[in-house]
Chain A
Amino acid sequence: MFYRKKIGHLTKAKNLGKLYITILFIFTFLLILFNKTDYIVVNKIKSLSTDVLNPISGFITSPIKVATQAVNKINEIRYLQQDNLKLKEEVKRLKKWQILAIKNQRENNALKKLLDSTTTNISIIKTTTITSQTPDIYARSIFIKAGVNHGVLEDFVVVNERGLIGKVISSTENNSRVLLINDQNSSVPVTSLSKKFNAIIKGTADGKYLTSTFVKDEKIPKIGDVLLTSGNARIFPSDMLVGKVIKVSEDGFLALPYVDFNNLEFVQVINTK
């Protein structure tokens, strides 16, 4: 009697285990199936996982990050004298530019008054820090410390002092994920300073450059042309610095982004009014 009960209990446990594995497989299948459909449950799972996993991984990797920062600091100290000389040269160069910029700004303001134009159509939502960055294995994205509670929503644009960084692709209460412009799935409509051509660019596989996926009327830019957002997609505001053309071929062109994606610290979330 006792043995029969025990065997019955074991069989029950085994069946429960099998049922659990079956449910797990069904759940896996459903997640994969609904992933591309923007199903609300899948999005919830994604944002919840990001919110939970990021702080944990950040805490575990913090000793290594501190160690690497220390190594970087030591390297910086080693080259302090050389950097100082470089900076002195740069200050001289920038002072000339500053004089020119002030002159241009005065001229701009005077012309704007004459034309009665509005100054800008961009509103700054939040200036924030980066909590973590994904490694260069697949997607290139950053996580910022601002979410729905701070007014940051999907499709908002992220910039820094050097130019365009990317756009918000998902947003939770206090965090957001930003897809960088050097990601292979990003798509940024660009034009040149002279507005002579229009193209769409995305990141290359190694993430170092931006490559054209579409060039309107086959009008290829010249090497050295500055790329600005054209504002065609209505996600990115127009005239934001993107990159500089470094290679031109028959199929398209290659550009170097202005933003240094390896040294991002502070970013600004903006939105077009």
Chain B
Amino acid sequence: MTNLITVNGVTHRYDKHKVLEDVSFSIKKGSFIGLVGPNGSGKTTIIKLMLGLEKLQKGTVETFGKPIEKFHNKGHISFVSQKANSFSRGFPATAKEVVSMGLTSKVSPLRPTTKKYEYMIFEALDRVNMMEYANHNIGDLSGGQQQRIFIARAIVNNPSLLILDEPTVGVDTENVEQFYQLLSQLNKELGITLILVSHDIGTITTHVTDLLCLNKSVHYHGNPSDFEQMTDEQRSTLYGHDMHTITHEH
């Protein structure tokens, strides 16, 4: 299997505070990775480094076979940020307009929004079951619906890799499971490689194919079922942090 991203020996500091130490892992094509860790464990930082939003201080990140410094994203990687649901609710845009932002790298005035792009937007909306809300104002939708729109925006350009940073923040608990099912579908049916950042190990282990536990450094990278069979003590040692799995009943 091809590696889409290879992180090697990455160490990162904010002023004197070390947030990542000698982090190495690779992301295989077609996998669904759950990137978990407690608050302040460096999850968002490693994501930002992989997306080129932060400058590397030490180590290397190779994205689609190229060093991140030389990689120009032309729709290969897409992103749903933690902040996506903290946008200004009064922003005057329809759900359809928000999804169209995902095509910015493709659309230019010389190639105006053709029927093909309209079709791609509606296909993405349909994929997340939000077709009937296409002309609704984004601020009028619920947290879960807004997050579906942001997923549609992220997949409209047919990316190979989709990174989601704590996407269920602000989504009602009853909608969270549906949301994870949608992600599994994107992984299995469209073949999109997914990296899902979460601090909630309990729920995501049932959906992901690989679990990556981060707490400054990588403490576990492997099969989620092997991780589930461990005792809380073994996990706490692995994780470098006292932890207990919370079982969610749905």
Are A and B a genuine interacting pair, yes or no? Answer: no
List the interface of chain A (C-beta within 8 A of B).
none
